[in-house]
Amino acid sequence: MNSEKEKSLLNQTQRNPYWVCMVVFLALATDQGFRLLTQLDQRNQLTQAQSMQAQNINMLYEAQQLEVRLQNLSLDLLQVAKTNAQAKQIVQDFNIQWNPGPAAAPVQPASGPGQPAFGGAGSPASINAPKK
């Protein structure tokens, strides 16, 4: 019986580590596969975020242009309101006020369409018109 025990002990110590290595390899390969899928998902999210940012930049530029046009229109309306009753009524109805910035120059009438109604190199005046 001793010889059988020795043979079984010898067989156990000389087993092939192939299956252990295969299990470890499969575990590492599975982990790497999940990491790759996560990275691909993050890459898609980054691409979407970049396209959204480009759209937002365009919308911001358009909003800035609209703000300048509205400000010019409001300043022109304030100038006309000094001599025109209908313009004065519009200014009163919408409570349009001219609040010059710290370095804003005095308001000058616009010289043509698309020309700013304020002058100088200072910051533009802010127009406050509360929403109804």
CB atoms within 10 A of CB 70: 12
The H or E element containing residue 29 is helix 18-81
For 83, which DSSP code?
Answer: T
For 107, which DSSP code?
Answer: B
pLDDT in tens, 16-42: 778 889 999 999 999 999 999 999 999
Please report the sign of the dihedral spanned by the C-alpha atoms of residue 58, residue 63, residue 68, residue 72. Answer: positive
pLDDT at 117 (0 to 100): 45
pLDDT at 19 (0 to 100): 82
- Ranges in the chain, pLDDT < 70: 1, 12-13, 101-132
pLDDT at 13 (0 to 100): 66
pLDDT at 62 (0 to 100): 93
pTM for the model stands at: 0.43
Residue pair 103/122 in contact (Cβ under 8 Å)? The answer is: yes
